[in-house]
């Protein structure tokens, strides 16, 4: 029994030590500032004025409306519902077997 307790204590100790170690590594990676190389830096978009953004939005809306009017997709109609749902059918079948077996 003492051996089992030592094995349990050792296993739990190693598990919690690993968790604390990983927590510390994650904290260190998020807390330490890293310098980004100029070659690795993402390209920044040039500053756009409000007039250019409004024109881009207007073009996007016009294209979307044009594509919407050309679409041949139509909503599907819902199929007719059954008189008895699948769940009800399963429950009734189970009840019939239970009553018939007695």
pLDDT at 11 over 60: yes
User: Residue 44's pLDDT band (boundaries 50, 70, 90)?
Assistant: low
- What is the residue whose two structure tokens read 């294209």? 63
Cα angle value 40/46/49 (rounded, 5°): 155
pTM metric for this prediction: 0.34
pLDDT at 24 over 80: yes
pLDDT at 15 over 90: yes
């Amino acid at each position: 029994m003492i051996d089992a307790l030592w094995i349990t204590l050792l296993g739990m100790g190693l598990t919690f030590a690993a968790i604390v170690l990983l927590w510390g590594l994650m904290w260190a990676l998020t807390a330490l500032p890293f310098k980004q190389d100029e070659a690795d830096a993402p390209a920044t978009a040039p500053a756009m004025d409000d007039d250019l953004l409004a024109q881009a939005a207007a073009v996007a809306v016009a294209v979307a409306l044009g594509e919407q009017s050309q679409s041949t997709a139509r909503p599907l109609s819902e199929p007719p519902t059954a008189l008895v749902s699948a769940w009800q059918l399963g429950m009734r079948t189970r009840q019939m077997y239970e009553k018939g077996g007695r």
